[in-house]
Structure 1
């Protein structure tokens, strides 16, 4: 049986449509402030794509581009100013930041009600309690992608490879709140292949190409590949060996799987910050 391709572009397009409808019906235009420090090529592409998404949906996106040598003090000052600006509904600080800037200090300057990435301590603690003001964009996008394609979550064994604050840890929390049985693996995990082979849903977010081997996958496993790497020919690839996809019942392609859903969830969080509601009744 052919594996089902979980097309993130298709699902993200459906979310964008619902966001446009909610904005049009409300008469409120959400405003999102995006802060980029430095000139990292990948970050510039991400910010440009996010601005394009916002324009398509009727969100006013304002980008602040600061030089690489911007001091932490100046950056925090800008964030606090945006937090106190009533015309700004949401704030996003593009990561990574230059090495001389403490990411946690910067994120903590964002008011929780404007933290559309869901990274502030207040929003992280609320998520642990199951009170989701803003769902972190990548884990939230993964859950909505599975819902869109009717992939069962309740009662299934969800193995997450990678324990980052951006994907792995919040993904585990959200999977638990969706009643999955959750296991986190990391660089010190023993018998990674055996644990992966017990998964009904395998989510890999390590940035290590070919980490997930075909023999790690049992029949009827759903693979969510969050990794973004380059193969020997310079083409984008995920964490999984391509033959691993062939053993699955469903998988996300790289590119075109999780990435578009991450951006779509940012739009959802932006309209939520503006007080609008969007129902994703898949």
Structure 2
């Protein structure tokens, strides 16, 4: 069993980005600039955004954080999005999800200029990705593809099962895995799939994004499979100072011995999600997606 170390790969990519940014600035180019809008004080969102700011500093990006309280109106938030769309110094920005219930997440996503949508959530970017045009790809799927490449994991002709169908991970992941550069044969499975255990056990590559802690057990995994665990659920624990720990969607101790490669939680896919946001911002700064 080989461990896919997301922290190690993310550190390598960040070093590569930092060197490229230094070269851009040394040649008189503009410092890439990423902004984040954070609404409220959700613990997970606070942590994630803090990491993003730290990541920007590490690679030489300029970063901005715009904060709002939970009671911000939808109109006020949309006005800020429009302002950022028109800010020529800004290469990309994200609106951290989830948002309060009185704000339509879809309306906010669609208000973002696709050319600055470094989260890759806008329907235009999703559509461009589906038909193989240059696009900003959703950060988690982008990061997973990068992990597979950097570990030289064979994907061509392999049977890939994507467990989960969210717009952020499952759906874009299935499209990417079927594209010509990767050439896997893809099945999208979910909670309503008949014979789910058998479907998963037939996978050479199993990508799990259900959001259900320890859902995948050893009897659902083929001997020698590659298992990518996207799950990050906080569960209560009396063994940690914080009182909680992160659990993946895979019952790791039981499944890992059967795998050729597996991602841990934490330290697998998570660091790559953040790094992919930096890669998208760099692509935007270099005008490589939208000329």
Q: Is the 8 A contact 2:126 2:135 kept in 1?
A: no
CA RMSD of aligned residues (A): 1.1
TM-score, structure 2 as length reference: 0.92
Task: Report the equivalent of 2:241.
Answer: none
TM-score, structure 1 as length reference: 0.95
Partner of 2:111, secondary structure, is coil
Q: Whole-Å Cα distance in 2 between the matches of residues 244 and 263 of structure 1?
A: 26
**Which runs of 4 or more aligned residues in structure 1 lie more than 6 Å from their structure 2 counterparts after TM superposition?**
none
Task: Report the equivalent of 2:194.
Answer: 190
Relative to structure 1, the CA distance from residue 155 to residue 61 in structure 2 (aligned partners, 3 Å threshold; closer, same or farther) is same
Q: Is the 8 A contact 1:26 1:276 kept in 2?
A: no
Q: Whole-Å Cα distance in 2 between the matches of residues 206 and 180 of structure 1?
A: 21
> How much has 1:21 moved relative to structure 2?
1.1
Task: Report the equivalent of 2:9.
Answer: 11
**Counterpart mapping for 1:24-173 below 5 A:** 24-27=22-25, 28-173=30-175
Which residue of 258, 263, 267 corresponds with 1:247?
A: 258
Task: Report the equivalent of 2:185.
Answer: 181
Q: Is the 8 A contact 1:225 1:239 kept in 2?
A: yes
How many residue pairs end up in the alignment? 275
Which residue of 20, 23, 32 corresponds with 1:22?
A: 20
> How much has 1:156 moved relative to structure 2?
0.7
Per mean C-alpha deviation after superposition, the further-off stretch among 268-277 and 85-94 is 268-277
Q: Is the 8 A contact 2:163 2:190 kept in 1?
A: yes
Deviations 1:190-238 (A, max 9, x none): 1111000010000001111121010111111000000012456332120
Deviations 1:97-131 (A, max 9, x none): 11111011101111111000111111011001111
Q: Whole-Å Cα distance in 1 between the matches of residues 208 and 141 of structure 2?
A: 12
Which residue of 245, 261, 276 corresponds with 1:235?
A: 245
Q: Whole-Å Cα distance in 2 between the matches of residues 197 and 190 of structure 1?
A: 13
Q: Is the 8 A contact 2:206 2:227 kept in 1?
A: yes
Gaps of 5+ in 1: 278-282
1:214 paired to 2:218: yes
Q: Whole-Å Cα distance in 1 between the matches of residues 156 and 82 of structure 2?
A: 40
